[in-house]
Amino acid sequence: KQEVTQIPAALSVPEGENLVLNCSFTDSAIYNLQWFRQDPGKGLTSLLLIQSSQREQTSGRLNASLDKSSGRSTLYIAASQPGDSATYLCAVKGTYKYIFGTGTRLKVLA
């Protein structure tokens, strides 16, 4: 049974810092991994999608890596801004559904 864990559960950093969010999963048989951002009381916004055959994806200040063999993914956020404050979730796609982690709640202080 696939389990997805995100550490840390919460993170508070000053503006401008580079930071890394972690996601680990127990079953390496995945089709893809997505990173999402969720603002309070809102839906999720897909940030990056990494196919199982890829090692990383980049979009602006965001970079996500995937290491299937070790069951790990990281989301790197460069030069963090207060607008980056949100909950970040990773999700892995198995045979027929996505399994979501519980998220990392990020607060970037001005």
Partner 1 sequence: KAGVTQTPRYLIKTRGQQVTLSCSPISGHRSVSWYQQTPGQGLQFLFEYFSETQRNKGNFPGRFSGRQFSNSRSEMNVSTLELGDSALYLCASSLEGFNEKLFFGSGTQLSVL
Site of interaction with partner 1 (CB under 8 A): 31-32, 34, 36, 41-46, 49, 51, 89, 91, 93, 96-103
Q: How far is the CB of 21 from partner 1 (least distance, A)?
A: 16
Q: How far is the CB of 13 from partner 1 (least distance, A)?
A: 23
Which residue type sits at 108?
V
Contacts of 57 (CB under 8 A, 6+ apart): 48, 49, 50, 63, 64
**Nearer to partner 1 among residue 66 and residue 80 (C-beta):** 66
> How many other C-beta atoms lie within 10 A of the C-beta of residue 108?
20
Q: How far is the CB of 42 from partner 1 (least distance, A)?
A: 5
Nearest to 34 by CA among 73, 79, 67, 60: 73
Q: How far is the CB of 37 from partner 1 (least distance, A)?
A: 11
> How many other C-beta atoms lie within 10 A of the C-beta of residue 49?
16
**Nearer to partner 1 among residue 76 and residue 100 (C-beta):** 100
